Amino acid sequence: MIHKINFTLGIALSLLMTGVSLAKVDQKEAARLGKDLTPLGAVKAGNKAGTIPAWTGGIQAVPKGYKKGMLNLDPYPDDKVKFTINGENYKDYSANLSPGQIAMFERYPKTFKLVVYPTRRSASYPEFVYEASKGNALTAELSRGGNGVANAAVTSPFPIPKDGTEAIWNHLLRYRSQGIKREVGQVAPTSSGKYTMVRIEETVFFPYHKPGATVESVKNRLAYFLQTVKSPNRLAGNILLVHETLDQNKEPRLAWTYNPGQRRVRRAPNIAFDYPGTAADNQRTTDQSDIMNGSPERYNWELKGRKEMYVPYNAYKLHSKDTKPADVIKAGHLDSNYLRYELHRVWEVEGTIKKGTSHIYAKKTYYLDEDTWGILVADQYDGRGNIWRVSEAHNINYYEVPVTWDTLQVHYDVINGRYLAYGFNNGGPVDEFGIDAKKKDFTPQTLRRKGMR
């Protein structure tokens, strides 16, 4: 126990030396972390109805039969369906649904449904993440205008958030391992269900997530991101490189692209906000990757509070080697029979566009999992106040790390009847977590050499 206490105090002392004033969480409030609150700030107890259990540490061991290099096995294979919410009964459950989910029932009354399973609070993380979270509660602070964070380490900076901007930064900086390499599929089906699979290779290095790392020690870098389109041929060879910063007042996101037709590397300052996403057929914006990424500066963020909600969770059936993308990809929306929903507590955060700025979404409402700070559901509105797109992150606990992250993201357009789904890896290489990447692997020169191969 002594080494854990020293680790937490060491983080706090090193961050205090920067001279930035402390966040408004006192010692007494921070002491709740690990007691009535989980180390990441969730309510440890279950709900009064008994439909949400207490958090008891999440998944602590890999399931029997799992070996490294396999797709993750379902740790809950015997769970039975509790009930199904569909186009006939969704109004009975409206208090625990988002407006976007309700819009999906109204758009697809005969086919869209939420198959609800027992709630499993499966989220777990390495111990150093929990200790860093406790230290952050005492030291982390928003920079000017909420467009950055100071005095934080390793993971979400505000386990006991006081406003919406702090909650958004919890999502942006949540722990996702120090790096990942993966090859995944992306589809943007037509309204009739026809699609072409786009294969994308990604390598992401998170210096901020390494044990002992702080905002200051990583020289203002949250992540280095390298993305290459592998197929189809008409898109193959396009490469995107991003350096994501932590305090965007000091330095905004840096981005470069390589186009195989031009055989040139170009700076790409427009790769942000509502610029179209990579090979997405205009079905998502750049800042909808990971449901939300990048600077939060264009919105006013209001923390609405916690609520209980039916959200995608523990999507091991969707992740399974026995599930093929063609099984899941249907007209209008994914096949609901492969999706798992559970009742969880979430933080509701509403963003409204600031005067003098622009974005195709006039308002966004995010529903953040209290156990992970990952956004599970997002409702995005047009300028007339109507639901335009509804996003979902279907997560699993990658218990070999451990880390909880999505295995598939989906963005439904309730107006044009299309959607974009990203993350299919059922038939490809298994995601490789904890890679030992180097900063030199993420330079414009590296991008040029990769493009010339």
Q: What is the mean pLDDT of each run of 10 residues along the chain (453 residues)?
A: 42 41 76 98 98 98 94 97 98 98 98 98 98 97 93 97 98 97 97 97 96 93 96 95 93 93 91 96 97 97 98 98 96 98 98 97 98 98 98 98 97 98 88 87 86 60
CB burial of residue 382 (10 Å; 0-12, 13-18, 19+): middle
CB burial of residue 292 (10 Å; 0-12, 13-18, 19+): buried
The DSSP call for residue 153 is: B
What is the structure's pLDDT at 21? Answer: 41
Residue identified by tokens 């406790």 is: 134
Percentages helix, strand, coil for the chain, rounded to the nearest 5? 20, 30, 50
Spatial CA neighbour of 295 closest among 318, 315, 257, 269: 269
List Cα–Cα distances, 61 to 68, 96, 349, 370, 400, in angstroms. 13, 31, 33, 22, 8
* Contacting residues for 295 by C-beta, under 8 A, at least 6 apart: 147, 248, 252, 253, 272, 273
What is the structure's pLDDT at 428? Answer: 73
Whole-angstrom distance, CA of residue 397 vs CA of residue 321: 16
Whole-angstrom distance, CA of residue 227 vs CA of residue 207: 18
At residue 303, the 3 state secondary structure works out as strand
What is the structure's pLDDT at 452? Answer: 58
Distance of CA 429 to the CA centre of its chain: 21
Strands 419-424 vs 141-142: parallel, antiparallel or unpaired: unpaired
State the pTM of this model. 0.94
* Contacting residues for 234 by C-beta, under 8 A, at least 6 apart: none
H helices of 320-365, in order, are 325-328
Distance of CA 29 to the CA centre of its chain: 27
The DSSP call for residue 443 is: S
CB atoms within 10 A of CB 316: 22
CB burial of residue 375 (10 Å; 0-12, 13-18, 19+): buried
Spatial CA neighbour of 240 closest among 197, 293, 178: 293
Q: What are the beta bridge partners of residue 187?
A: 421
The DSSP call for residue 175 is: -
* Contacting residues for 172 by C-beta, under 8 A, at least 6 apart: 222, 292, 293, 296
What is the structure's pLDDT at 426? Answer: 84
Measured torsion, CA atoms of residues 262, 268, 270, 276, in degrees rounded to the nearest 10? 50
Q: Which domains are seen in the chain, by residue range? A: 2-452 (2.50.20.10)
Whole-angstrom distance, CA of residue 364 vs CA of residue 380: 5
Whole-angstrom distance, CA of residue 299 vs CA of residue 165: 9
Phi, psi torsion values for 172, nearest 5 degrees: -65, -35
